[in-house]
């Protein structure tokens, strides 16, 4: 499970993981009340995978990566 290190990190910051999981679930239900995004289902092959790369123009700090990992894990 890829989120285990992130969960430990978030807990060390005092984040309530159960509340965070509830928030993530609520966001999905709000965004896709019927369960799946119909446009995505109609246009993207479920058997395809993709990769993305981020490149910053300047040095900076990226925040929220552990929360993003939990979200991405949820969607598979």
CB-CB contact of 64 with 10 (8 Å): no
- Whether residue 14 has pLDDT greater than 70: yes
pTM: 0.70
If one counts the domains in the chain, the total is: 1
Residue 50 is assigned to a structural domain of this protein? no
Q: Which residue range forms the structural domain that includes residue 27? A: 1-42+62-76
pLDDT digits (tens, 9 = 90+) for 43-62: 989 898 889 898 999 999 99
Question: Mean pLDDT over residues 31-36, rounded?
Answer: 78
Residue 54 is assigned to a structural domain of this protein? no
Residue 47 is assigned to a structural domain of this protein? no
Residue 72 is assigned to a structural domain of this protein? yes
- The answer for 52, left when phi > 0, alpha when psi is -120 to 50, beta otherwise, is beta
Residue 23 is assigned to a structural domain of this protein? yes
Residue 67 is assigned to a structural domain of this protein? yes
Which residues neighbour 4 within 8 Å (Cβ) at sequence distance 6 or greater?
Answer: none
């Amino acid at each position: 499970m890829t989120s285990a290190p992130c969960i430990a990190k978030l807990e060390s910051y005092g984040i309530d993981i159960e509340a965070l999981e509830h928030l993530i679930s609520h966001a999905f239900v709000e965004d896709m009340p019927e369960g799946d995004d119909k446009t995505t289902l109609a246009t993207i092959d479920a058997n395809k995978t993709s990769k993305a790369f981020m490149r910053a123009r300047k040095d900076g700090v990226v925040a929220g990566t552990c929360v993003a990992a939990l979200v991405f894990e949820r969607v598979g």
